[in-house]
């Protein structure tokens, strides 16, 4: 029987540390980290996410702004807002909530955010920095997964890691982060032999967006299982991409849905924003500035 990985508890510790460090930065430099979130249209899930992010930012003492634009906003008007936020010294982190309405070019909007203010870690420069192993903001969800592995004492070095899903938001950066920690990484997708690949995983991260895609019987006994998926069943219950009950019987550790990876995403966003504020402070005031100085 596996042990549950309590993402809520880990996220609470991360957020408490961010608040402590933000208070130190404010005391040392008179600087309060600022996070601006841009939301376009009335997508219900986006509204929930943005509200949660704004509340979390305020709870750790950040300045927080939500810019809500009409669903019919033009590409030019949206880019103009992003440019204004880029130039605002009080804004250290910018997050454009995805998805955007279909008439907007999301790639162009993400690329318009200054790389140093891209606290989502999606900018092409930051994606390239991750690929090359250089410093920079990292995508929040896979960064949160790495923290969960650390919390349960799972060192990826020398282990076989399998990532199910190859999205730019989770799958690809997840594979790169595991590779940087010296895991042997396999990325699976719709044309992979999932039962065979999953059965060899010491570390399994599933981010396919398909309800209970990975069956518990496929799990290698003793594997650490991280379920990134969030899917709603007909009865309204939330489930992940892994068949939880049977996987729990075989895994050493496993994240529940909800309460596993989800809380970590916002916690790591706050950490990225704090780091962005600290880096921008050092750029303006010199290398001695920043948290704890």
Query: What CA–CA distance (Å, rounded) separates 91 from 218?
Result: 46
Query: What CA–CA distance (Å, rounded) separates 25 from 293?
Result: 8
Our answer to whether residue 3 is catalytic in this structure is no
Query: What CA–CA distance (Å, rounded) separates 152 from 159?
Result: 15
- 21, 53, 118, 181: the catalytic one is 53
Taking Cα atoms as reference points, which of 97, 9, 20 lies closest to residue 51? 97
Our answer to whether residue 202 is catalytic in this structure is no
Hey, which residues does 34 pair with through a beta bridge? Answer: 63
Percent helix / strand / coil, the chain, rounded to 5: 45, 15, 40
Residue 156, SS3 per DSSP: coil
The label of the residue with tokens 């962005």 reads: 276
Taking Cα atoms as reference points, which of 111, 113, 138 lies closest to residue 124? 111
- 54, 97, 159, 172: the catalytic one is 97
Spell 112-133 as b/e; 16+ CB within 10 A means b: bbbbbbbbbbbbebbbebbeee
* Residue 48 neighbours by CB under 8 Å, 6+ apart: none
- 21, 118, 120, 227: the catalytic one is 120
Our answer to whether residue 53 is catalytic in this structure is yes
In this structure, what token pair is assigned to residue 223? 């594997």
Task: Enumerate the active-site residues.
Answer: 53, 97, 120
């Amino acid at each position: 029987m596996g042990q549950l990985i309590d993402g809520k508890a880990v996220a609470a510790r991360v957020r408490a540390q961010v608040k402590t460090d933000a208070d130190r930065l404010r005391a040392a430099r008179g600087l309060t980290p600022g996070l601006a979130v841009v939301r376009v249209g009335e997508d219900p899930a986006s509204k929930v996410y943005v509200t949660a992010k704004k509340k979390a930012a305020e709870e750790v003492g950040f300045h927080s702004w939500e810019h809500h634009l009409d669903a019919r906003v033009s590409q030019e008007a949206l880019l103009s807002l992003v440019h204004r936020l880029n130039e605002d010294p009080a804004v250290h982190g910018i997050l454009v909530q995805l998805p955007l309405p279909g008439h907007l070019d999301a790639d162009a909007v993400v690329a318009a955010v200054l790389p140093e203010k891209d606290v989502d870690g999606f900018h092409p420069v930051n994606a390239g920095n991750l690929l090359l192993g250089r410093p920079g903001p990292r995508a929040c969800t896979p960064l949160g997964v790495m923290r969960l592995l650390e919390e349960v004492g799972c060192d990826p070095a020398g282990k076989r890691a399998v990532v199910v899903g190859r999205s730019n938001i989770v799958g690809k950066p997840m594979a790169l982060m595991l590779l940087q920690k010296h895991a042997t990484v396999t990325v699976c997708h719709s044309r992979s032999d999932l039962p065979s690949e999953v059965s060899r995983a010491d570390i399994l991260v599933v981010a396919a967006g398909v309800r209970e895609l990975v069956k518990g019987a496929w799990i290698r006994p003793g594997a650490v299982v991280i379920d990134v998926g969030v899917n709603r069943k007909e009865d309204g219950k939330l489930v992940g991409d892994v068949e939880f009950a049977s996987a729990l019987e075989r895994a050493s550790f496993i994240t529940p849905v909800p309460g596993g990876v989800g809380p970590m995403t916002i916690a790591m966003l706050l950490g990225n924003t704090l780091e962005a504020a600290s880096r921008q402070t050092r750029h303006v005031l010199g290398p001695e500035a920043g948290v704890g100085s």
